Amino acid sequence: MRRTSFRAVTVATAAATLLAASITAATTGTAAGTDQSETSGYAPGMVAAMERDLGLSTAEAVDRLRTDEALSATQHAIAKSLDSGYAGAWVEGDELFVAVTDKAGAAEVRAAGATAVTVGRSLDRLDRLATQAFRAAPEAKVAGAYVDVESNSVILEVAEGATGAVSAAVRAAGVPTSAVSVVEVTEMPRTFINVIGGNAYYIGGARCSVGFSATGGFVTAGHCGSRGATTSQPSGTFQVSSFPGNDYAYVSTGSDDTPVGAVNNYSGGTVNVAGSTAAAVGATVCRSGSTTGWHCGTIQALNASVTYAEGTVTGLIRTNVCAEPGDSGGSLLAGTQAQGMTSGGSGNCSSGGTTYFQPVNEALSAAGVSLVTGGGGTTPPAGCTGYESAFSGSLSSGGQAAEPGTTGFSALSGTITGCLDGPSGTDFDLYLQKSSSGSWVTVAQGITASPDETVTYSGTSGTYRWVVDAYSGSGSYTGGWSTNP
């Protein structure tokens, strides 16, 4: 869930630049056409699947990928800058919409080049209502719950004929009826237990898929195996497994197996995995599975809840990408950014359907491992060299650490420079805080979507400290700072 500490910073210039770049890229691609060199940054199988599933030409598919990447980065920057008034964001074509609950937030969104939509409920509030409504509904009747950021409401999906009973239970729990829409579905979701996403692996007589390579093994769906279960092809052991509640697992593999930062595109090649930056609602995503190959669609909601026959799972990515048995545990990508592993859903790839994915960063954090990127191998932080002082540590996703400790360091009037080198494929941020009247006040910060940050601040003498924030992703970091009075 999005956290709001240390987030009060204006990012209008950077966000507007990203938005303008995305629109320019889209316009240029459409006008000039798209040749082979323009598609080289994306897997041929991914572009072809988008053409088939979304009815796009090659040029339109490439333009859409470029635009979605830029708009997702803009959304990421805006979300980090807003406080509790943030209410979600979504993409429509080449336009980014950001929902806010106050005038100040709307002004900041417009200054960043996005379209502001003023609503009555914040995203944090909606997430709490979705959880409350989901828990209140009879488990056998509710299929899933998620926040619809466009309508600023909670959608509760239920079995046919269960609207009355579920609505009554939700009202009895004190959830405002105006905030929840109850929708009946013709098919309850199920796990794709006998499926693979990238390459196959086997648990006894069952078959699942490698989601993404990680340090010493891979992450996959938790419903594929419990802790201690063994696998073959490749051989390994489930070291971490959580299902239901979550749907992630980490399998350690033998020394003869080499984890590679790529995903099978079922078109005779692979897709390079460059990182795991989360995409925005409305962004294009593609899924890899051995039963149905590559299929694409869009993200409909984040932090969704769903009920399977085995139990409930929360915090999932909801999409309109189709899947079938044989696809579970597999890889969901937005361009070259890892998003999650196939959990389950409803429908099929003939008539369409809904598929849920376990976010990859949560799985990596739970296992204490790092995503393998760049076609193979992981690169640990090399450190920030040339600084007077250094620090290092390790954080799980969502964690924070004060450096060089909670007491900080003394500096004279002048310039303070800082550097953070975070683990590849994550989003680590760096804040400089100054002690004032018994509390710490943020005076400068680096909050881009990358794992590495630099900060420069000119200030008066006093006591300062650095705060490292693992906004998304986990792993070890190094850093350094200098003072130049």
- Catalytic residues, by residue number, are 223, 247, 328
CA pair distance 343, 316, nearest whole angstrom: 8
Instruction: Give which of 296, 399, 394 is closest to 339, Cα–Cα.
Output: 296
Six token digits for residue 166: 């579920």
Alpha carbon separation from 222 to 243, 250, 366 (Å, rounded): 5, 8, 12
Q: How many helices (H) and strands (E) does the chain have?
A: 7, 31
Q: What is the DSSP letter of 177?
A: G
Number of CB atoms found within 10 A of residue 379's CB = 12
Among left, alpha and beta (phi > 0; psi -120 to 50; other), residue 158 is beta
Contact indicator for 158, 184 with CB cutoff of 8 Å: yes
Beta bridge partners of 270: 264
- The position carrying tokens 């204006």 is 10
Instruction: Give which of 316, 313, 343, 312 is closest to 138, Cα–Cα.
Output: 312
Contact partners, residue 156, CB within 8 Å, separation at least 6: 133, 134, 137, 142, 144, 145, 166, 170, 180, 181, 182, 183
Beta bridge partners of 359: 340
CA pair distance 113, 93, nearest whole angstrom: 15
**Angle CA(363)–CA(146)–CA(296) in degrees, nearest 5?**
65
Alpha carbon separation from 433 to 339, 408, 412 (Å, rounded): 32, 9, 15
Amino acid at 247: D
How far separated are the first and last CA of the chain, in Å rounded?
Answer: 40
Instruction: Give which of 254, 262, 263, 260 is closest to 233, Cα–Cα.
Output: 254
Instruction: Give which of 323, 324, 328 is closest to 313, Cα–Cα.
Output: 328
State CA 55 to chain mean position distance. 26
Six token digits for residue 323: 């899947």
Six token digits for residue 288: 């890899």
| DSSP per position, 372-393 | --TTS---------S-SEEEEE
Judge residue 127's burial from the number of C-beta atoms within 10 Å of its C-beta, 0-12 exposed, 13-18 middle, 19 or more buried. Answer: buried
Q: What is the DSSP letter of 223?
A: G
